[in-house]
Each structure stands twice: as structure tokens, then as C-alpha cells.
Structure 1
Amino acid sequence: MGALSKRAMGALLMQQHLSLFACPICQQKMLVEQQSRLVCANNHSFDIAKQGYINMLTSMANSKYSKELFEARKVVIDSGLYDIVEQKVSEYIGHVKTVLDTGCGEGSHLARIMAQKEAHCIGVGIDIAKEGILAAARHYPKQIWCVGDLAKSPFAPASFDAILNILSPANYDEFKRLSTPNGCVVKVVPQSHYLQELRAQLYADSEKERYSNAQIVARFQEAFTDVERERVTYTMPLARELVPALLEMTPMGWHKKEDTAIILDEITIDVDILIGK
């Protein structure tokens, strides 16, 4: 017997974890049909792509994020720049069976965190950007990848022991609906010195050179009754060849003028990790 195709591998993972899914149109339970789609009792059907991911959007969605951005993001994350943050997140979620990464992009953070978990633990990534999910499925076939919108969620209530929200917009009502009774939500948000060397060159002497996450943190603290907060700060050498990728992956870089030379030999990661229960 030959090796399974990526579509068959994705279908098998979904079959093994069907209880996580609910139809985003009618909220009914779902079944895998012919290793090619998820179908609910009301015959709403969602195709499993040949790359192994599933598209569960109920309407067209436009993303401002390009294939090039996700490729750059993977290069930067694979360099180890966020290893310390990922290790902290892994420690906070502890021993769990189900992890959902919301706004997962090309999946690198989730895949690297899941590599630290037990074999029985399944990771699911969701993003509205098809290009990100396509890259995630191509590189990380051991996780479930879903193009979807949390405003019309394709998941069943109380399904996930840990929900991750790493440098991405949040939907707290949906996070709480999807969390198991003892589950947690882990949100990573920039702190004031995040990528400060880049910010200093792009936004010198302007208000954008300074950043505060106070409003985001306050909103998180309003959403959860039990909140922990840890600041993680470190500065790492930055290889010259990573500078273009860093500029491509961050919205700060999108505003760089063509004649502006960016010279970086180190970069600071400065984030708050918020844990809500």
C-alpha cells in the first residue's frame, strides 16, 4: 500500500477528531465523506483540498496578507527568533489534548508549540487567509488546518483545552464558547519595545515610534475573571539575510519608503503573554 495523499492524511485527522467540528451554517455535527469533504446532517458540504486543509468559509473573504508575507513569516519564525515565546506558551498551556491557534497564518508557531506536546495532543489552526492555511498544510501535515472565520465558527462548543491568539486580533466571545470548562486562552501581544530597532528607523521622531498595549490588555482583563500576565523581553542578533523577511512580515515594513535603507544587526522581542481562564 502506498503512502497516503495529503488529502487522505487531512481527512484521517479530521475523522479522528470529528467532535471538534460543527457546521458553520447550522451548527450540526459533521462527518467525513469519501475522504474528500466534511458534510453535516443538513447536507452543507465543505471540501478537503488536495493539500490536506479544509475551507469552511461561508462567504467570500478578502485578506490583506499575501503569499510572500507568509513565506517571510515562516523564514523569520524558523530562525528561532520566537523560540523563547513559544516555550513560554507551551509551558502555560501544560498537558492538554486539544489546542486551537486563531489567526494561525502559515502555522509555524502552532507547529513548533505542538512539537513540544505529547503525541495524543492535536493542534488545529484557523485563519481567514487561504494563502496562510495553504502554506501551513504544505509544511505541517500533522495538524488540522482550516480556512475559516471565527465570526461563523466551524467548531463545536467546549472543544479546546487551550486557545492561542499570537500577535493576532481576538474574538473573546467565541474563545469562551470554544473553551473546555477548565480551558485557557493564551494571547501574545506586543509590548513597548517590540521590534524597537525597526520601529526607530521607520518611525523616527513620530508618534508611531512609541507603542502601548494598554487598551488590548484592559480588554483581555475584562473578558476573563482569572488572568495572569508575564512580560517576555530579549534581544537577539539578526542575520542580514533575515532583514527583508522581517520587513515583509510586519505591517511596519509595509510603509517603508523605497529609498530608505534599513540596517539591523539585532532585534528585540518584547511581548506580554496573557493567560485567561
Structure 2
Amino acid sequence: MGALSKRAAGAALMNNNLSLFACPICQESMTIQEQGRMVCSANHSFDIAKQGYINMLTHGAASKYSKELFESRKTVIDSGIYDEIEDKIIELIAPAQTVLDTGCGEGSHLARIMAEKKGIGVGIDIAKEGILAASRHYPEQIWCVGDLAKSPFAKSSFDAILNILSPANYEEFKRLLTPGGCVVKVVPQSRYLHELRAQLYADSDKESYSNDQIVARFKESFMEVNVKRVTYTTPLTTELIPELLEMTPMGWHKKEGAAIRLNEITIDVDILVGRV
């Protein structure tokens, strides 16, 4: 028998983890039908794409993130400049068997993290281009186009929820956590990409950055919070500079013709771990 199609392989993976899902319209449980769609008991239906991901958006959604941005993001992450952050996350979520990455983009962080541990990873993003790339590169995990404001997941489904340099929905995170589970949020610290910030925002108030408000809101949302700062400076090849500019919103402010010269970049983040 030949290899499964990407749609069939994705459907099989979802079927093996069906208890994670709930209808985003009515929150009823789901089944997988042979035609390659996920259906709830009220007959709300969501197609599994030929690339192996599922689209569970209940409304139209425009994303400002392009295919090129996600390609650049994968190139930058694959270069290893975020390895120390990923290693710390792997350590923090070691016992977790079900891991949800919210705002997963093209899925590189989740795929690299799950490659080092047992369990199943699920990535969700409102940007279809990101999920298309994720399903193409990382078929071992489940990928979902969706919006956590209309969640396609069942209550108490995930042992760990990742939120890496992405907007958060804390009330939904808490609903989705299993008892004893944790939310791991990565937020920039003051020197994150500061070499780039210094050139793009020279002599403006954007040259400095504070995450105080984000951290305060996280602490308000969870009963138990631990904060771990991870900071290091790593070499940056010339070839990675345009990719970095493409993937970060900072790069979108680059003036036409302005030259950016970097031979190293600082990664400086807080890793927030919250439990309910």
C-alpha cells in the first residue's frame, strides 16, 4: 500500500487526538468523516485541506502576514538563534503530553520543541499562509487555521500552552489547560534585537522598549507565575539580515535605501510561566 496522502495523514492524526477538539460554533464533540472533514453532532462541518491542515475559522479573517514573512521566519528560526529559548521551554514543559502553540505561524518553534519530547503538538494561527507552511514542513503535528475567540478546542485539553512573541487570550488559555497545566509566554525584554532597533529607531522613543505592562497583565491572570529571563548575543550572518527584517514588524519601518549592518544580534526575553 502506498503512502497516505497529506489529507489522509492529517485526518488520521486528528482522529487519534479527537478529544482535543470541540466545535467552534457550538462546542459539541467532533468526529472525522471519510470524506476528509471534521463534523460535530449538530452537523457543523470543517474540511481537512489536501495539505493536511484543518480550517476551523467561523468568520473571514484578513492577515497582514505574508507567505514571504513566514518563509523568512522559518529561515531565521532554523538558523538556531532561538535555540536557547526553545531549550528552556522544553525543560519547562517536560511532563506535558499535549501542547498547544497559539499564534504558531509557520510552526517552526513548535516542531523543534516537539522533536525533543514525547506527545502531540497542535498549532493554531489565524493566518492561513502560516498554517499552509506549517503543514508542508511539519506533518508530524496538527495544524489548524482558527481564532481562539471562537475556539475549536475542548475544555481542559492541553498540558502546556505556548504563546511565543504573539498576542494572548488568557481566559481561553485557562479554559483549555488541564489541571496542573501551564501557560508559557515569551515576551521581549529591553534588549531584544536592540542592534536592529538602534538602527531603525535611532533617536526616537521606539529605540527603548519595556514589557512591564505585558508582564503585569500576565501576573494578574494567573495564580502562580514564575519569570525567567533569557538573554544572549549570537553571531548573525549577512544572509540572515534581510530575513530578520522581513519577519519582524520592526523591519517594516525600514526606510527605502537605508542600509542595515549587523554582525550579531541580541536575544533578550522573559519567559513567563503561569498556572491557575
* TM-score of the aligned structures, taking structure 2 as reference length: 0.99
1:94: Cα distance to partner? Answer: 1.4
Equivalent in the alignment of 1:192: 190
The answer to whether the 8 Å contact 1:7/1:35 transfers is: no
**Counterpart mapping for 1:5-24 below 5 A:** 5-24=5-24
Equivalent in the alignment of 2:162: 164
Q: For the structure 1 residues 27 and 228, does the alpha-carbon distance in structure 2 shift closer, same or farther, using more than 3 Å as the test?
A: same
CA distance in 2, matches of 1:148, 1:243: 31
The unaligned stretches of length 5 or more in structure 2 are none
**Percent of counterpart pairs with the same letter?**
77
1:10: Cα distance to partner? Answer: 0.3
CA distance in 1, matches of 2:35, 2:210: 47
C-alpha RMSD of matched pairs (Å): 0.5
> How many pairs align?
275
For the residue of structure 2 that corresponds to 1:252, the secondary structure is helix
Note the alpha carbon deviations across 1:16-67, whole angstroms, 9 max, x for none.
0000000000100000001511000011000000000000000100111000
1:115: Cα distance to partner? Answer: 0.6
Equivalent in the alignment of 1:122: 120
Equivalent in the alignment of 2:202: 204
CA distance in 1, matches of 2:216, 2:171: 15
| Worse overlay, 260-269 or 31-40 | 31-40
Equivalent in the alignment of 2:248: 250
CA distance in 1, matches of 2:175, 2:63: 25
The answer to whether the 8 Å contact 1:11/1:35 transfers is: no
CA distance in 2, matches of 1:259, 1:107: 32
1:259: Cα distance to partner? Answer: 1.5
Equivalent in the alignment of 1:28: 28
**Counterpart mapping for 1:132-143 below 5 A:** 132-143=130-141
* Pair 1:78 & 2:85 matched: no
1:184 partner letter: C
**Counterpart mapping for 1:50-69 below 5 A:** 50-69=50-69
CA distance in 2, matches of 1:105, 1:10: 18
CA distance in 2, matches of 1:190, 1:41: 42
**Counterpart mapping for 1:137-152 below 5 A:** 137-152=135-150
**Counterpart mapping for 1:43-54 below 5 A:** 43-54=43-54
Runs (4+) of structure 1 exceeding 3 A deviation are none
The unaligned stretches of length 5 or more in structure 1 are none
CA distance in 1, matches of 2:116, 2:255: 40
